[in-house]
Amino acid sequence: MNMQAPAPITPQDPSFISALARGLAVIRAFGAGRERLTLADIARATDLPRATVRRSLLTLQALGYVASDAKHFMLTPGVLSLGYAYLSSTPLPRAIQPTLEMVSEKTNESSSCAILDGGEIVYVARAATRRIMSVGLSTGSRLPAYCSSLGRVLLADLPEQEARELLSDMDRRKLTPHTLTDVNALMEALARVRADGFCLVDEELEIGLRSIAVPVRNAAGQVIAAMNVSAQAGRVSRENLMREILPVLQQAAESVRPALI
């Protein structure tokens, strides 16, 4: 007998475990540049009462996910087990990694695969030939979806109303003079992505960075991720991205489909 998946619940539902949600919020307060935080830092980042944050931290410390030096708190390597549980339970990272390495070898540029998580993309696999951004990227790294080629490909696959609502709720900062932040302009950009089947973002995420992305579909034709190639704008023109790199990306995305059930 087929079991129907449980319907999503809201924070107001009696089945919603608020303590679990608060504990996860505390974990998410840490990140790049936020490796060592005080209790007050975490309370501000999560908008939770200090007493609530303290209980969450003590529980996470007892479970081995958090350490403390009496003043600051920091995550332990034990947190990696949470991310590894996802990576080991989905075939996507294992199936896509050899393909990304092939793309990077053919193009001599960095190639990545990401999924959509709310208003951000999360990198699930990456083959880097050189560092092209001011911040280092690796599996688990997050970037805004609205101004990245990977994010726009994934947003373009959503129903239009859902994409508009996501964009409206995002913190759409102007990261460079070229960054699109207006929701209507972004919706027009998503329409072009749907029509073209790819997305090229030119120095919107970071000055000097160009990237081009395509959807990654499973065997049933559903978009489950996006794959891109990023390059320095001074080395690779828009025309080269579309003429030389886009066909490699498209062929790579098609080749991996049978392995993604």
Burial class (CB in 10 A: 0-12, 13-18, 19+), 44: middle
Which pLDDT value is given to residue 1?
A: 43
Fold of 90-259: Beta-Lactamase (3.30.450)
Q: Which residue has the tokens 């990304």?
A: 100
Query: Which residues touch 46 (CB under 8 Å, ≥6 apart)?
Result: 22, 25, 26, 28, 29, 53
CB 40 within 8 A of CB 57: no
Sheet holding 223-232, edge to edge: 142-144, 120-127, 110-117, 223-232, 209-217, 199-202
How big, in percent rounded to 5, are the helix, strand and coil portions of the chain? 45, 20, 35
Which pLDDT value is given to residue 198?
A: 97
Q: What is the dihedral of CA 130, 131, 132, 134, to 10 degrees?
A: -170
Give alpha helix (H) positions in 63-131: 80-89, 92-107
Which regions in the chain score pLDDT beneath 70? Answer: 1-7, 87-89, 130-136
User: Where do the domains of the chain lie?
Assistant: 18-78, 90-259
Largest interatomic CA distance in the chain: 58
Fold of 18-78: Arc Repressor Mutant, subunit A (1.10.10)
Q: Which of 45, 5, 230, 24 is nearest to 117 (CA)?
A: 24
